[in-house]
Amino acid sequence: MSDAAPLLSVRDLSVGFEGFDGYADVVDGVDLTVEHGEVVTIAGETGCGKSVTTKAITGLLNEPPAHVDGTVEFDGQDLRELPDDERRELNGDRISVIFQNPLSSLNPVFTIGEQLTDTAQFGGDGNTGILGYFRRRFSSTDRSAARERVLELLEEVRMPDPESVMDSYPSELSGGMRQRAIIAQALLNEPDLLIADEPGSALDVTVHDEILSLLEDLIAERDMSILMITHNLGVARRLSDRVYIMYGGRIAETAPTAEIFDAPHHPYTQGLIASIPRLSGESMAGGIGGSVPEYTDPPMGCRFHPRCPYADESCRSSEPADVSFGEQARSACIRHSDGDSGPVPTLQETKRRLSEHEPTPEPAEGNQ
């Protein structure tokens, strides 16, 4: 994209959790960037560590039992080194997050109008203090300007009947309307970076589709960087400029969207693409057999090896390094050799092998 430093740069991010069953080593050495104005997705099956990655980026896992390691740089500042209040301010003003569970992001006891107007007025301003809060909260000019802005945004997210939605409680809205309110809230302070974890995917297919076209339009209209999480490759293809494919807490492959769908290199990416009937031309029974790893005892070497139809002893004994396939594309498979995909053959071949492959050590539990 540009020569400027990325807006978000995550390096060697690792996240684990202390638990009754031992230490869950979930995210392991994730590197990712989001450039200015770029829409990036992290895609992969449920349980691959996508939400944990975003929570670590937004500073939600800063306390035990979670352990976070690595660097998270936003616009040149190391977020993990920032004092809490500065970080909160940044999170409210420059970074907005839409969490995976849409219900938990709205407060049930306040109307949509009250909560969104508060966000418009105060954003990430955690230092207002109680007096400052009341002075501004009850300053009618400040408040009504904020209210106007909320109404404009509700129009922009195509909320039906915004005036009456302002006076409604979250429980009085449909799932789709709540999702629109949450998107409006996330955009109120015109963030530089929007992080959206599976937006709309809890909703039924038609409403999910409406939310996706809304996001498409908002992306086209606004000069905003987006880090989007999805378990749905179709969503990644439709909305993003660049994709990270995540498996078992590691980045398996990344490339610009068109490239990753035209010429996927990693057997996991190939398996995911082969499992989408519309993209592969025909359906494949079962997709990738087996399930995502147990993080208290993850597979040695390549974490995908128990499910990979190409795996041999070397995949069990050593962790694959990234192999670069051009400026923005890399894939981590031991079978790649520099600059070409080595003995990992075509999507067709991977499909054929997957259909015959028995995952080790035990058969599929049907995690997805």
Q: Which residues bind ligand ADP (CB under 6 A)?
A: 17, 19, 24, 26, 46-52, 295
Cβ-contact 221, 3 below 8 angstroms: no
Q: How far is the CB of 50 from Mg ion (least distance, A)?
A: 5
CB-based burial, 254-290: b 16+ in 10 Å, e otherwise = bbbbebbbeebbbbbbbbbbbbbeeeeeeebeebbbb
Q: How far is the CB of 248 from ligand ADP (least distance, A)?
A: 9
- Beta carbon nearer to Mg ion, 165 or 239: 239
Partner whose footprint covers residue 49, from ligand ADP, Mg ion, none (CB < 5 to 8 Å by kind): ligand ADP
- Beta carbon nearer to ligand ADP, 46 or 144: 46
d(CA 109, CA 107): 6
Partner whose footprint covers residue 71, from ligand ADP, Mg ion, none (CB < 5 to 8 Å by kind): none
Q: Edge-to-edge strands of the sheet including 323-324?
A: 95-98, 193-197, 225-230, 39-43, 242-247, 250-256, 330-331, 323-324
Q: How far is the CB of 79 from ligand ADP (least distance, A)?
A: 19
Site for Mg ion in 81-140 (CB under 5 A): 100
Q: How far is the CB of 47 from Mg ion (least distance, A)?
A: 8
Rg of the chain over Cα atoms, rounded to whole angstroms, equals 22
Taking the CA of residue 212 as centre, how many other CA atoms within 13 Å lie in the half-sphere pointing to its CB? 20
Respond yes or no on whether the N-terminal peptide bond of residue 65 is cis (omega within 30° of 0).
yes
Partner whose footprint covers residue 295, from ligand ADP, Mg ion, none (CB < 5 to 8 Å by kind): ligand ADP
* Sole binder of Mg ion in the list 51, 58, 119, 230 (CB under 5 A): 51
Q: How far is the CB of 95 from ligand ADP (least distance, A)?
A: 19
Residue 4: exposed, middle, or buried by beta-carbon count in 10 A (0-12, 13-18, 19+)?
exposed
- Beta carbon nearer to Mg ion, 292 or 311: 292
Partner whose footprint covers residue 343, from Mg ion, ligand ADP, none (CB < 5 to 8 Å by kind): none
Q: Edge-to-edge strands of the sheet including 22-34?
A: 22-34, 8-19, 66-74, 77-78
Instruction: Give yes or no for residue 53 binding Mg ion (CB under 5 A).
Output: no
Phi, psi for residue 60 in degrees, rounded to 5: -85, -10
Determine if residue 198 is left, alpha or beta; phi over 0 gives left, psi from -120 to 50 gives alpha, anything else beta.
left
CB-based burial, 169-182: b 16+ in 10 Å, e otherwise = ebeebebbbbbbbb
Q: How far is the CB of 49 from ligand ADP (least distance, A)?
A: 4
- Beta carbon nearer to Mg ion, 119 or 201: 201
Taking the CA of residue 62 as centre, how many other CA atoms within 13 Å lie in the half-sphere pointing to its CB? 14
Q: How far is the CB of 118 from ligand ADP (least distance, A)?
A: 28
Partner whose footprint covers residue 280, from ligand ADP, Mg ion, none (CB < 5 to 8 Å by kind): none
Q: How far is the CB of 221 from ligand ADP (least distance, A)?
A: 28
Partner whose footprint covers residue 48, from Mg ion, ligand ADP, none (CB < 5 to 8 Å by kind): ligand ADP
C-beta nearest to Mg ion: residue:
51
Partner whose footprint covers residue 52, from ligand ADP, Mg ion, none (CB < 5 to 8 Å by kind): ligand ADP
- Beta carbon nearer to ligand ADP, 63 or 221: 63
- Beta carbon nearer to ligand ADP, 39 or 48: 48
Partner whose footprint covers residue 332, from ligand ADP, Mg ion, none (CB < 5 to 8 Å by kind): none
DSSP code, position 307:
G
- Whole-angstrom CA distances from 46 to 56, 291, 292, 368 are 17, 10, 8, 7
Q: How far is the CB of 47 from ligand ADP (least distance, A)?
A: 5
Cβ-contact 95, 161 below 8 angstroms: no
d(CA 339, CA 129): 57
Residues that bind Mg ion (CB under 5 A): 50-51, 100
